[in-house]
Amino acid sequence: MSIEKSLQDRSNSSCELCSVTNDLGVYEIPPNADGSADQSVYVCRSCREQIEDPEKMDSNHWRCLNDSMWSEVPAVQVVAWRMLTRLRAEGWPADLLEMLYLDEETLEWAKATGEGDDSEDIVKHVDSNGNVLEAGDTVVLIKDLNVKGANFVAKRGTAVRRITLVEDNPEHIEGKVNDQRIVILTKFVKKSN
């Protein structure tokens, strides 16, 4: 049986979020959708557009979550949680979020895209070009750097592999150069592809 047919059967051929019965399709839930019905929802075009493009959000459309958030299907619960979280500043979604219970595994899945993280609390490390750096990345030095206390110069063009991020300072990363672990300012590196 195809995924779409499975989802049609599960949803009675209606949007699993707003119950509309036309213009329906499969929406695979990021970030780790495996193409299965368990990791997908059957949604209308309006829901899909608003899920994928926050600029098109119509908060009144999502009042439908008052009903669909009670679905027993984890995939529907995940999308409901993400949309309520995105809209929580409206007031009423915050009330629904307080009532919504997700088991630990489902909540972890719902949070997997970073939805709901307070952007002010997240420390982002970016290179000289504005690319986001992550632990384990390889970066290249874009200028010669005098390494204090080690009496050598880290030359421009040197690749620094498997960097670590300094948690409380978005301008600092750490990495090994000449077998020495050093702190490097992010403005002096570029992410290597």
DSSP 65-98: HHHHTT-S-HHHHHHHHHHHHHHGGGSHHHHHHH
- For 115, counting Cβ atoms within 10 Å of its Cβ (0-12 exposed, 13-18 middle, 19+ buried), the class is middle
Residue 165 near residue 125 (C-beta atoms within 8 A): yes
Confidence at residue 113, expressed as pLDDT on a 0 to 100 scale: 85
Residue 85: CA atoms inside 13 Å, Cβ hemisphere, count?
17
The pLDDT tens digits of the residues spanning 79-137 come to 999 999 999 888 899 999 999 999 999 999 999 988 766 555 557 889 999 888 988 89
Angle between helices 74-87 and 45-52 (to 10 degrees): 60
Token pair recorded at residue 118: 């307070």
Amino acid at 11: S
121-161 pLDDT, tens per residue?
Answer: 557 889 999 888 988 899 999 999 998 888 899 999 999 99
Residue 72: both structure tokens together: 């027993």
Q: Where are the domains of the chain?
A: 3-111, 125-191
3-state secondary structure of 104: helix
- End-to-end alpha carbon distance in the chain: 40
**CATH class of residue range 125-191:** mainly beta
- Inter-residue contact 14 to 50 (CB < 8 Å): no
Task: Share the mean pLDDT of the chain.
Answer: 91
